[in-house]
Amino acid sequence: MSEEIIDNDNAEELYEHHRFVADKGQNPLRVDKFLLNFLENTSRNKIQIAAKAGSIRVNEKPVKSNYKVKADDIVQVVFPHAPRQLEIIPQDIPVPIVYRDADVIVVNKPPGLVVHPGYGNYKGTLVNALLHIMQTLPMGSADDRPGLVHRLDKNTSGIMVAAGTELAMTSLAQQFFDRTTEREYIALVWGDVEEDEGTIIGNVGRSLKNRKVMSVFPEGDYGKHAVTHYKVLERFGYVTKVACKLETGRTHQIRVHMKYLGHPLFNDNEYGGDKILKGTSFTKYKQFIANCFSICPRHALHAKSLGFIHPSTKEFMRFNSELPDDMTAVIEKFRAYTHKR
Query: 183 CB contacts (<8 Å, ≥6 apart)?
Result: 245, 246, 249, 303, 305, 306, 307
Query: 60 CB contacts (<8 Å, ≥6 apart)?
Result: 74, 76
Q: How far is CA 304 from CA 147, 152, 240, in A?
A: 21, 12, 17
Query: 283 CB contacts (<8 Å, ≥6 apart)?
Result: none
Query: 153 CB contacts (<8 Å, ≥6 apart)?
Result: 252, 255, 299, 301
DSSP designation for 83: P
Q: How far is CA 228 from CA 186, 204, 242, 245, 252, in A?
A: 12, 11, 12, 6, 11
How far is Cα 328 from Cα 18, in angstroms, rounded to an integer?
A: 43
Single out the catalytic residue among 153, 178, 268, 325.
Answer: 153
Q: Is beta strand 239-246 parallel, antiparallel or unpaired with respect to 197-201?
A: unpaired
Closest CA to 115 of 35, 107, 133: 107
User: Is 153 assigned a catalytic role?
Assistant: yes
How far is Cα 191 from Cα 193, in angstroms, rounded to an integer?
A: 6
How far is Cα 65 from Cα 314, in angstroms, rounded to an integer?
A: 20
Q: Is 155 helix (H, G, I), strand (E, B) or coil?
A: coil
DSSP designation for 194: S
Residues with catalytic function:
153
